[in-house]
Amino acid sequence: MELKKLLKTFDPDTKTDMKQKVKIVSKKKADSTMKLQTMIRIGCSQKITRNGVHLNLHGKKIWFRDNMMLCHIGQEVYLRYNLVNLENVEVYDKKTDTLLGIYRKA
């Protein structure tokens, strides 16, 4: 439901583009209720730079970094994030689909 609300705020061209690029991934949150948490995966990959990684939302770049990112600069990755909480993003290796880390908002 949250994704539909977000997509309505984009202009029609971006809306079409987002539907093609966004893939919904379900993950279980480790808490007492074990609620299902919805994460969104960015369809296009990016390289980790010295500034970190970024999301483009509503025309603004939101940057995320981690102390261990220096080991992965230049590596091709994709992101998963929660629309409700944009404080963290999960960074995954593009080739192996393994979690490299959870980066915090810069």
Domain ranges of the chain: 2-105
Query: Residue 33 pLDDT more than 60?
Result: no
- Tens-place pLDDT, residues 34-92: 344 577 887 789 999 999 999 988 889 999 999 888 899 999 999 999 888 889 999 99
Residue 32: other Cβ atoms inside 10 A: 5
**Burial grade of 40 (CB within 10 A; 0-12, 13-18, 19 or more):** buried
Given this model, what pLDDT does residue 32 score? 38
